[in-house]
Amino acid sequence: MSKLNAEAREWAEKRNKLNEQFKSLRAETLELRTERDKLNEKVKELKQQRNKMKTEIREKIGEIKKLSHEIKALTKKKPSINPQILQQKVESIEWKIQTTPLDLEEEKKLVERVKQLEIQLNIHRKLGQLNQKMLELQAELKAIETKNRHYHEKLTETAQKSQRIHEKMLEKITEAKKLKMEADNYISSFYKQKKEQNPFKRK
């Protein structure tokens, strides 16, 4: 009887030890699951950010293409005369109008000439503005692409980390299942042994 009780205690101790290990593994699994879920949420956020960047890149490329067409069309109309020379001509004619006695027809011709020169000057000015705008858009596009690369790298890194934690969690679940099975086997083995010893006890 005392041998059986000692064995019972031994089985119970082994079972309790395994159950403790099982509980510990379950707690670890829950921690890993929480960490994995947080990372998956971060992955979701990063995907949204990356998609936003992709949309911005498409829009910026569209703006650059549109502006490029405008520049091309205006370049065809660009006067061959240097804008500085055109400006000098305008100033010279304006000075003549202001300082020289002219008849109405002469003055009219000079005013018309200034008007034509101003049109040519405006083409130069407009081209300068468009080229400046193009430089700004290209700089903005570069900044968005850099940001997009950062989000993509962060996304890949976070997704990989989440995958590693998920695999670690599955290992813990498998380990916990084995321990639970082992603990259950100890209980069934003990009861089996006890049952086998009972007839002898009765005798």
Distance, in Å, from the CA atom of 8 to the CA atom of 15, rounded to the nearest integer, reads 10
By residue range, what is the domain housing residue 165? 2-202
CATH number where 190 lies: 1.10.287
Give pLDDT, residue 136: 96
Q: CB of 175 within 8 A of CB of 32?
A: no
In degrees, rounded to 5, the angle at the alpha carbon of residue 50 between the alpha carbons of residues 44 and 55 is: 130
Instruction: Out of 52-66, 133-147, 149-163, 177-191, pick the least confident.
Output: 177-191
Across 101-115, average pLDDT? 91
* Residues contacting 35, CB < 8 A, separation 6+: 165
Specify the range with the lowest mean pLDDT, choosing from 8-12, 38-42, 171-175, 191-195.
191-195
Contacts of 158 by beta carbon, 8 Å cutoff, 6+ apart:
39, 42, 43, 46
Distance separating alpha carbons of residues 32 and 9, to the nearest angstrom: 34
CA dist 170 and 12 (Å) reads 28
Q: Which of 60, 61, 13, 43 is nearest to 183 (CA)?
A: 13
**What is the model's pLDDT at position 53?**
93
Q: Are 168 and 25 in contact (CB under 8 A)?
A: no
Query: What is the number of other CB atoms lying within 10 angstroms of the CB of residue 114?
Result: 19
Amino acid making up residue 12: A
Q: How many domains does the chain have?
A: 1
Helices 104-202 and 83-99: angle between axes, nearest 10 degrees: 140
Tokens of residue 175, six digits: 């380990």
Task: Return the pLDDT at 5.
Answer: 65
**Distance from C-alpha of 77 to C-alpha of 86, rounded to nearest angstrom:** 15
Find the mean pLDDT for residues 71-77. 93
